[in-house]
Amino acid sequence: MSDQPEQRCQRCKRLGHEVPFEYCFTQESDQVCPEILNCWWERFDVRTCLADRLGKDVVKELESPRQQQPKILGLLELIEQAKKRQVKPSGE
């Protein structure tokens, strides 16, 4: 049995089903999920693992206050981004 962190799985609170650790830093165009430290810290040394693979700057960014914003602010940002992506009807 492999003990590689990438092979470890747990239930994702966003998706509602099991995902391997690797998914958490390769999802959505190779972006790191902002929840990755909260989700995995009890399973193994996720900070060191990410620092080794992606660099210490990535871990610092994940620990920054912006990453720890309340869920409602994150949702509002997603809504704003979706509005900006909407295609305007022709003739306007």
Among 1, 2, 3, 13, indicate the residue that binds ligand SF4 (CB under 6 A): 13
Size of site (CB under 6 A) for ligand SF4: 12
3-state class (DSSP) for residue 80: helix
Cβ distance to ligand SF4 smaller for residue 13 or 84? 13
User: Residues near 59 by Cβ (< 8 Å), separated by ≥ 6?
Assistant: 37, 47, 50, 51
In angstroms, rounded to a whole number, what is the distance separating the alpha carbons of residues 72 and 90? Answer: 33
Cβ distance to ligand SF4 smaller for residue 29 or 90? 29
Q: How far is residue 60 CA from its own chain's centroid?
A: 14
Q: Does 50 bind ligand SF4 (CB under 6 A)?
A: no
Residues near ligand SF4 (CB under 6 A) are 12-15, 19, 23-24, 27, 33, 35-36, 39
